Amino acid sequence: MVHSLAYAGKKHGKGGTFRWLYSKEIQWTRFSSPYSLLLTLFYLFFAVRLFKNKRTGSVLFLLPVIAGLVYDNGILAAGRFIGEGPILESLNYARFWIHAFLTPLLVLFAWKTLQQAGVQWAQKTWARITAFLLTTSLIGLELFTEVFGLVIQPEQSYGVLSYGKVESASGPPVMVLIVSVVLLGASILIWRKQGWLWFFVGSFVMIVGSAVQLPVKSGAVTNLFELVPLSSLVATARFQSTWK
């Protein structure tokens, strides 16, 4: 980032682009950690509300995902206070394991929402078995392609100290894309069956966010982008608990 700022200054002079880039750097450095902390509090709030409202079975599959996001954003927020070293490295390494095991649970959430909406084929034994098999397969896929043999290194981006993969992914995250497609398909059926639009909106945002590389290199901003789909999933669980 220092080199890019210097280049911008030479190309455009001391004003203009250099000043704009520098101001953006200061802003993100100042606010990225608070963003992560704020997201952690949001997810904790969601978790508490869902825990109190366990009338829908889909909540059981959504709560672990929220717990994983609480941990993820909590570590991002606390990184610069913990400091670079083996402790922070281990805490960040756990983020990849948690992501691999918990994110695929959204497939079961999608199946359960269809069951709760009264979709006939979702009541069948084969649908339940398929949902669990797909979830297990996605966990295995993520473990073998992303986690096993993972090497991470410290990285500081806009005030957030964390550990990331040494080698960047060559394409969109396959597991997340598959989960997003499953959620999108389920959301369309829920929209038609129950007239609930927001599940679809959140799922669409999630699939766009998975397929398109965000122009901002900040873990906090990436997780902020996840807040919209998660909010829609929480709202869907709450809606189905009151729908008749």
Q: Which letter, b or e, does each residue of 144-171 get, where b requires 16 or more Cβ atoms within 10 Å of its Cβ? A: eebeeeeeeeebebbbbbbbeeeeeeee
CA-closest candidate to residue 94, choices 76, 121, 106, 117: 76
CA-closest candidate to residue 65, choices 236, 238, 241, 234: 234
3-state secondary structure of 6: helix
Amino acid found at 223: N
Instruction: Label residue 99 by pLDDT band (50, 70, 90).
Output: very high
Structural domains present in the chain: 34-242 (1.20.1070)
| Cα–Cα separations (whole angstroms), residue 116 to 20, 110, 202 | 51, 10, 19
Instruction: Label residue 145 by pLDDT band (50, 70, 90).
Output: very high
How high is the pLDDT of residue 30?
A: 41
Residue 112 pLDDT > 60: yes
Phi, psi dihedral angles at 58 (to 5 degrees): -60, -25
Whether the CB-CB separation of 83 and 134 falls below 8 Å is answered with no
pLDDT averaged over the chain? 80
CB count within 10 Å of CB 79 equals 24
How high is the pLDDT of residue 205?
A: 86
224-234 pLDDT per residue, tens? 567 888 889 98
How high is the pLDDT of residue 74?
A: 87
Instruction: Label residue 221 by pLDDT band (50, 70, 90).
Output: low
